[in-house]
């Protein structure tokens, strides 16, 4: 039997995810959102589908797929319920950092369990005192013999309650100048009393997924949990991982925007006013045309960033552009969908009401859009001649 081409493999897995979303996720999405229920049964099914190991190499038990397929999967999941994609979002950032910067021993130790979903991962980055100023983070990791002692706290951590392992960025050199050169990345796991999960956060949207504080009080970890072979390399490691995070957030935004558009176009064909479906009114047609065009532009930006990530090298410019544009378009399209629905779009029973509440997460998450504009501009100014 002939081996499937990468494109054929992508179509197969994306169709599988699409069927899973329609069959299992869409029927319960409203309930999960309304009651803020973490759907452990759906997450278990995602493990069985291999979605916890999308880009983890096959030699460590993953699917070994490319970032274009990765983006397609996040788009399909988010069309059903954006929160469900969060279970594997920062999980894959942890896996990425280990796979690209960890030792072979670390890969063997952690990647198989992450690929199967036996361990759920996350990213312990943001702190209560500041989110976007990563270089100035306050959590410390002090070497004590064959261990590091961690003190500090992290905020807005996805998978904090039900996750098992996290990529922690902490300060190992207090005197480093500039400050980002004094940061190191570690793999940390639950089990020690010095590692506590704080309060669970009650969010506007992104419901049905645990988001909490993490608190470290003299939390000891083995020295071999330092990612890579030397200290103070963590900033670059995590920033590279965040490129994949921005691709997945951009894809989520495309998925939510597409779902909002599809709801709006269906409603416009069913709802009548002045003796005809509102889809026949020019004002509605103009909205639909703009929505579809902008979603497709966002999708193309997202898949362009994914393709370039597959080619290797930095894509902070491309992933930043994709996340910035897609998230802003998602918020705009969700609002337009609500306008097309009129009063019905404002009701809790309407899916577009959920899309409107979920959209801001993509604007804020994985770097606020205000900061991403600065990242994009800095990259542009470094180029002798701007060419995509």
Cβ atoms within 10 A of the Cβ of 41, count? Answer: 10
Look-up of token digits 């994914």: 306
Q: Which pair of tokens denotes residue 32?
A: 């999960």
Q: How far apart are CA 147 and CA 194, in angstroms?
A: 14
Alpha carbons 76 and 255: distance in angstroms, whole number: 6
CB 31 within 8 A of CB 22: no
Is 366 catalytic? The answer is yes
For 49, 137, 200, 309, the CA distances from 12, given in Å and listed in that order, are 12, 42, 37, 22
243, 318, 353, 366: which is the annotated catalytic residue? 366
CA-to-CA dists, residue 191 to 194, 198, 310, angstroms:
9, 15, 36
Range 65-75 burial, b when 16+ CB lie within 10 A, else e: bbbbbbbbbbb
Which of the 8 DSSP states describes residue 22? I
Asked whether the CA dihedral 132, 158, 201, 49 is positive or negative, the reply is positive
Classify burial at 140, counting beta carbons within 10 Å of its beta carbon; exposed 0-12, middle 13-18, buried 19 or more.
Answer: middle
- DSSP bridge pairs for 222: 147
The C-alpha atoms of residue 57 and residue 213 are separated, in whole angstroms, by 31
Structure tokens at 332: 């705009």
Using CA atoms of 344, 206, 240, 196 in order, give the dihedral in degrees to the nearest 10. 170
Phi-psi region of 127 (alpha: psi -120 to 50; beta: other; left: phi over 0): beta
Q: Which of 225, 222, 219, 238 is nearest to 152 (CA)?
A: 219
Handedness of CA 28, 29, 34, 37 (dihedral sign): positive
Active site residues: 366
């Amino acid at each position: 039997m002939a081996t499937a081409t990468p494109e054929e493999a992508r179509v197969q897995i994306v169709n599988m995810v699409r069927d899973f979303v329609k069959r299992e996720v869409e029927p319960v999405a409203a309930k999960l959102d309304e009651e803020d229920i973490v759907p452990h049964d759906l997450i278990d099914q995602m493990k069985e589908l291999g979605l916890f190991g999308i880009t983890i190499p096959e030699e460590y038990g993953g699917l070994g797929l490319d970032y274009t397929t990765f983006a397609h999967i996040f788009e399909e999941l988010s069309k059903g319920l954006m929160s469900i994609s969060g279970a594997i979002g920062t999980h894959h950032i942890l896996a990425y950092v280990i796979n690209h910067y960890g030792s072979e021993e670390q890969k063997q130790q952690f990647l198989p369990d992450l690929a199967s979903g036996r361990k759920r991962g996350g990213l312990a980055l943001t702190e209560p005192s500041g989110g976007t100023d990563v270089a100035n983070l306050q959590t410390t990791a002090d070497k004590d013999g064959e261990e590091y002692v961690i003190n500090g706290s992290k905020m807005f951590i996805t998978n904090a309650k039900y996750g098992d392992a996290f990529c922690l960025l902490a300060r190992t050199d207090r005197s480093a100048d500039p400050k980002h050169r004094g940061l190191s990345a570690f793999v940390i796991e639950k089990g020690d009393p010095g590692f506590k999960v704080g309060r669970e956060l009650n969010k506007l949207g992104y419901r049905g997924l645990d988001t909490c504080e993490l608190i470290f009080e003299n939390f000891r970890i083995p020295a071999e949990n330092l990612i890579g072979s030397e200290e103070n390399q963590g900033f670059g490691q995590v920033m590279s991982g965040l490129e994949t995070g921005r691709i997945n957030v951009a894809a989520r935004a495309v998925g939510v925007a597409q779902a909002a558009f599809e709801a709006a176009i269906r409603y416009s064909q069913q709802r009548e006013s002045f003796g005809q479906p509102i889809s026949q009114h020019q004002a509605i047609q103009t909205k639909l045309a703009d929505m579809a065009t902008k979603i497709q532009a966002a999708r193309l930006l997202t898949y362009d960033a994914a393709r370039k990530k597959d080619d290797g090298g930095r894509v902070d410019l491309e992933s930043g552009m994709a996340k910035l544009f897609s998230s802003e378009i998602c918020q705009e399209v969700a609002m337009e969908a609500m306008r097309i629905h009129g009063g019905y779009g404002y009701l809790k029973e309407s899916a577009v009401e959920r899309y409107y509440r979920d959209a801001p997460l993509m604007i804020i998450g994985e770097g606020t859009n205000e900061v991403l504009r600065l990242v994009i501009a800095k990259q542009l100014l470094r180029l002798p001649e701007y060419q995509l």
